[in-house]
Chains A and B, each alone.
Chain A
Amino acid sequence: MTRRALLVGGAAAAGTALLGTLPSLVQAQGSPTPSSVARQRPLGEPTSAISARSSFEQPARTPTGQVTGASLSPLQEFSGTITPTDLHFERHHSGVPSINPADYELLVHGLVDRPTVFTLADLKRLPSTTRTYFLECSGNGRTAYRSPKRELTPQLIDGLTSNAEWTGVPLTTVLSEIGVKPGAGWMLAEGGDAALLSRSIPLEKAMDDALLVYAQNGEALRPAAGYPVRLLLPGWEGNTNVKWLRRLKLIAQPNMSRDETSKYTDPLPNGTARQFSFVMDVKSIITYPAHPVRLGRHEWVQIAGIAWSGRGKVTRVDVSTDGGATWIAAELQKPILSKAHTRFTRMWRWTGEPATLLSRATDETGATQPTLVKFHEKRGQGTDYHFNHIRGWVVEQDGLVVYQVDA
Chain B
Amino acid sequence: MTGLIRLTLIAAVLLLGVACRSDQQTVARYGVGRPATPADIAAWNIDVNPSGEGLPAGRGTAEEGARVFAASCAGCHGARGEGLPAAPALVGREPREGFPFGESLKYVRTVGNYWPYATTLYDYINRTMPATAPGSLTPDEIYAVVAWILAQNDIIPPTAVIDAASLPKVRMPARDRFVPDDRQGGAAFR
| Contacting residues of chain B (150-190) with chain A, CB-CB under 8 angstroms | 174, 177-187, 189-190
Would you call B32 and A251 a contact (CB within 8 A)? no
Residues of B within 8 A of A127 (CB): 24, 26
Residue from A198, A266, A273 in contact with B127 in the complex, judged by beta carbons closer than 8 Å? A198
Residues of B within 8 A of A15 (CB): none
Residues of A within 8 A of B44 (CB): 107, 109, 246-247
- B128 touches A (CB below 8 Å): yes
- A333 touches B (CB below 8 Å): no
Residues of B within 8 A of A363 (CB): 185
| Contacting residues of chain A (102-143) with chain B, CB-CB under 8 angstroms | 107-109, 114-119, 122-123, 125-127
Would you call A68 and B41 a contact (CB within 8 A)? no
Q: List the B residue with the shortest CB-CB distance to A363.
A: B185
| Interface residues as binary, B90-109 with A (CB distance below 8 Å gives 1, 0 otherwise) | 00000000111111110001
- B50 touches A (CB below 8 Å): yes
User: How many residues of B are counted as interface, with CB atoms below 8 angstroms from the partner's CB atoms?
Assistant: 56
Give Cα A257–Cα B122 distance, bound, in whole angstroms. 10
| Interface residues as binary, A164-179 with B (CB distance below 8 Å gives 1, 0 otherwise) | 0000000000001110
Would you call A107 and B36 a contact (CB within 8 A)? yes
- B34 touches A (CB below 8 Å): yes
Would you call A379 and B102 a contact (CB within 8 A)? yes
Would you call A257 and B103 a contact (CB within 8 A)? no
| Interface residues as binary, A241-284 with B (CB distance below 8 Å gives 1, 0 otherwise) | 00000110101010111100110011111111111111101000
* Contact-size category for A: 35 or more
Would you call B183 and A281 a contact (CB within 8 A)? yes
| Contacting residues of chain B (73-99) with chain A, CB-CB under 8 angstroms | 98-99
Give Cα A387–Cα B46 distance, bound, in whole angstroms. 34
Residue from A107, A256, A272, A279 in contact with B50 in the complex, judged by beta carbons closer than 8 Å? A256
Q: Which of B2-10, B61-69, B110-118, B140-148 contacts A (4 or more CB under 8 A)?
A: B110-118
Would you call B29 and A273 a contact (CB within 8 A)? no
- A158 touches B (CB below 8 Å): no
Would you call A367 and B120 a contact (CB within 8 A)? no
Residues of A within 8 A of B101 (CB): 267, 273, 382
Would you call B120 and A378 a contact (CB within 8 A)? no
Residues of A within 8 A of B185 (CB): 279, 311, 363, 365-367
Residues of A within 8 A of B28 (CB): 176
- A374 touches B (CB below 8 Å): yes
- B48 touches A (CB below 8 Å): yes
Give Cα A403–Cα B116 distance, bound, in whole angstroms. 38
Residue from B105, B178, B187 in contact with A366 in the complex, judged by beta carbons closer than 8 Å? B187
- A332 touches B (CB below 8 Å): no
Would you call B115 and A262 a contact (CB within 8 A)? yes
Residues of B within 8 A of A381 (CB): 102-105
Would you call A272 and B177 a contact (CB within 8 A)? yes
Give Cα A265–Cα B190 distance, bound, in whole angstroms. 15
Would you call B190 and A251 a contact (CB within 8 A)? no
Residues of A within 8 A of B114 (CB): 262, 273
Would you call A383 and B36 a contact (CB within 8 A)? no
Residue from B45, B102, B128, B131 in contact with A271 in the complex, judged by beta carbons closer than 8 Å? B102
Q: Which of A46-54, A189-197, A222-230, A288-296 contacts B (4 or more CB under 8 A)?
A: A189-197
Closest 5 CB pairs of A and B: A365-B185, A267-B101, A380-B102, A267-B102, A115-B36
A interface, CB within 8 angstroms of B? 67-68, 93-94, 107-109, 114-119, 122-123, 125-127, 146, 176-178, 188, 190, 194-198, 246-247, 249, 251, 253, 255-258, 261-262, 265-279, 281, 311, 363, 365-368, 370, 374-375, 378-383
15 further A-B contacts with Cβ under 8 Å, apart from A273-B99, A381-B104, are A109-B45, A116-B33, A116-B35, A117-B35, A177-B33, A195-B128, A195-B134, A196-B134, A249-B45, A256-B50, A256-B116, A257-B124, A273-B179, A281-B183, A382-B100
Q: Can you spell out 21 A-B residue pairs with CB atoms less than 8 angstroms apart?
A: A115-B36, A118-B33, A119-B33, A125-B32, A177-B30, A177-B31, A177-B32, A178-B33, A194-B128, A255-B47, A258-B124, A262-B115, A271-B98, A272-B178, A273-B101, A273-B178, A276-B181, A378-B189, A380-B103, A381-B104, A382-B102
B interface, CB within 8 angstroms of A? 24, 26, 28-36, 40-41, 44-50, 98-105, 109, 111, 114-117, 119-120, 123-124, 127-128, 131, 134, 174, 177-187, 189-190
